[in-house]
Structure 1
Amino acid sequence: MNIKEELWALQDVSYADFQASLIPDIPRKLFIGVRVPAIRKLARKLAGSTEAAEFLEDLPHKYYEENMLHGLLISAMKDYTACIAAVDAFLPYVDNWAVCDSLSPKIFKRNKTALLGKIKEWSASARTYTCRFGLEQLMTYFLEADFKPEYLEIPLSVSSEDYYVRMMIAWFLATALAKQWDATVKYLEDQLLDVWTHNKAIQKARESKRITQEQKEYLKTLKR
């Protein structure tokens, strides 16, 4: 069987209905109905194979599950340069939050100096999911030991009315409040965000178990 046939062999129609309800931007007919653990298992089986390499070259895909598999295969790549090229080739075809958020290359962790430049490039993109991906990588790799206060300027410099970008900015800031409170809270005190993103960041931070009760009470006073 080829890869598409392998995905169809794993079909669960009721799960396709459920998945389509979570991602309303994609027509129901583009969901095969394959559970994520099954796609992960298939990705592990295919990783590094000639078949996988050919699949990664075969863009665009038709089905949601093909894109999920594509992202998981990229995430398993072990060569940084090849991985970046594969990410850049794939991002223009990413059309939903689930595929975007599943794209998480492990090799990035060992190449942070080079990665930061790509994060700035992706975050500045006018494409919704390219921008969201860049911000998510910044949140993943640059809010702890490698943090610098100026990195907070990257999400604040993004100008977008798109829900999925603004939600990512709010998620980023809520995480930054948990990990870098002193540097981050000033941006809320100075009201440097639009009202929706400002309040959503506060909401998500106040829902977090990583934020102290005292911090949550203070954030409540900053709501606009």
Structure 2
Amino acid sequence: MDKNKKRVWLFLEDRMKSDKEYEIRFGVVMAMAHYIDEEYIDNVLQWMDRISHEGYYVKMAVAWALSVCYVKFPQKTMNYLKENHLDDFTY
């Protein structure tokens, strides 16, 4: 495991924990761009399920990230989509 990649992931987790719409969106979009891979797919899906914010740009970022997860990891993502905590708009 790359220590720098892990350090950046922890930074992104802090953004995704925020209550600020654009901080969360930043974390989600960066996770989508750099962490949807074999090593992090489970973490990404878990975080997409944890995020709960009413902001339009958060919901759209999560939906976008999940679409990329599905393209790269269709079975894992489909399993997640069958059992998730997404709001109806994001789903």
Match of 2:8 among 94, 99, 115: 115
CA contact (8 A) 1:139 1:172 kept: yes
Tell me the CA shift for residue 166 of structure 1.
0.3
Tell me the CA shift for residue 161 of structure 1.
0.7
Aligned residues: 89
SS of 1:111 mapped into structure 2: helix
Aligned to 1:10: none
Answer yes or no: is 1:144 the counterpart of 2:33: no
Tell me the CA shift for residue 145 of structure 1.
4.3
Q: 1:189 to 1:140 in 2, by over 3 A?
A: same
Runs of 4+ in structure 1 deviating by more than 6 angstroms, as ranges, are none
Percent identical pairs in the alignment equals 28
Tell me the CA shift for residue 146 of structure 1.
3.2
Tell me the CA shift for residue 168 of structure 1.
0.4
Cα deviations across residues 50-92 of structure 1 (Å, max 9, x unaligned)?
xxxxxxxxxxxxxxxxxxxxxxxxxxxxxxxxxxxxxxxxxxx
Q: 1:158 to 1:191 in 2, by over 3 A?
A: closer
Aligned to 1:157: 50
**Structure 2 residue runs without a partner (length 5+):** none
Aligned to 1:171: 64
Max radius of gyration: which structure?
1
Tell me the CA shift for residue 165 of structure 1.
0.4
Cα deviations across residues 92-151 of structure 1 (Å, max 9, x unaligned)?
xxxxxxxxxxxxxxxxxx931110100100011111111100011111111124334133
Tell me the CA shift for residue 193 of structure 1.
1.3
Aligned to 1:127: 20
Q: TM-score, normalised by structure 2?
A: 0.87
Cα deviations across residues 126-185 of structure 1 (Å, max 9, x unaligned)?
111111000111111111243341331112111111100000000010010001111111
Of structures 1 and 2, the one with the larger relative CO (CA 8 A, separation 6+) is 2
Aligned equivalents of 2:70 and 2:86: distance in 1?
A: 15
Tell me the CA shift for residue 189 of structure 1.
1.5
CA contact (8 A) 1:112 1:141 kept: no
